[in-house]
Amino acid sequence: MTHSAAIFDLDGTLVDPAGAITGGIAAALRDHGISVPDEQMLKSFIGPPLATSLKALPGVTEELIPKLIENYRAGYIREGMAASKVYPGIGELLGRLRDQGVALAVATSKPGPQANRLLQIQGLSGFFDAVAGSDPDEVIPHTSKGPIIAEALGQLGLSAEDGGRLPVVMIGDRKFDVEGAARHGISCIGVAWGYAPEGELQEAGAETVVASAEQLDQEISRLLPRLSARPAGAGAH
């Protein structure tokens, strides 16, 4: 069991999709004759379940959603993962946290296999003790990020009820991260470099909102007591 943990969202927090998600969704919509919304709406699709976001678009039927997701997923796996970029300072931050004994996890609405593959491609997989994602079938809805965070806690050897009693913090860029963390009594640090509209994170109840990896490190230091360094050779599993 871990005694101090930081749980990170993926897209918009650790990794900048660099247009891979919005461009991929737009291409899938065009391929099926659906009008493409403006860039601001496409960016709002980063964070919540894709199937849920697609339902809000005119002309998208329940029957069409699996085809749109399959089309999007193929292009994203083929090109989007490699086009994404780790945000500045994130790799160094994760290394420092591991050296300080903090267990690290990812909780993302991206399907688990895709999340693991993206972390591998971006050179981040070795930092994490746990990776929790949504069902590989993206058509299967999930109502909130709470269950995904609960899965991350479980992979770390914690029960979903432990979040409020142990030093655990969530880091994310959307209100879904804040709300999901709150369900388990966990504070959430918001990151300003992601995809939340102005004021969203504060309104959702984020502990604070940071503008750089350096500020994020300071806030994690404030919220999590530092443990002794890991034994030599310790690594992610």
End-to-end CA distance of the chain: 13
- Strand pairing partners for 132? 107
Which pLDDT score is estimated for 177? Answer: 96
Q: Which of 151, 209, 131, 150 is nearest to 175 (CA)?
A: 209
- How far, rounded to the nearest angstrom, does the alpha carbon of residue 230 sit from its chain's CA centroid? 25
Q: How far is CA 71 from CA 26, 33, 43, 84, 137, in A?
A: 10, 13, 18, 18, 13
Contact between 160 and 153 under an 8 Å Cβ cutoff? The reply is yes
* All domains in the chain, ordered by first residue: 5-16+85-223 (3.40.50.1000), 20-83 (1.10.150.240)
- Mind listing the pLDDT tens digit for each residue in 164-186? 567 899 999 999 999 999 999 99
Q: Which pTM does this prediction carry?
A: 0.84
Supply the residues annotated as catalytic. 9
* Burial class, 235, CB count within 10 angstroms (exposed 0-12 / middle 13-18 / buried 19+): exposed
Tokens of 204: 């959702």
* Residue whose token pair is 């899965």: 151
| Residues found in the chain | 237
For the chain, give the longest Cα–Cα distance.
57
Low-confidence ranges of the chain (pLDDT < 70): 1-3, 137-143, 160-165, 225-237
57, 81 Cβ separation under 8 angstroms: no
Q: What is the pLDDT of residue 228?
A: 33
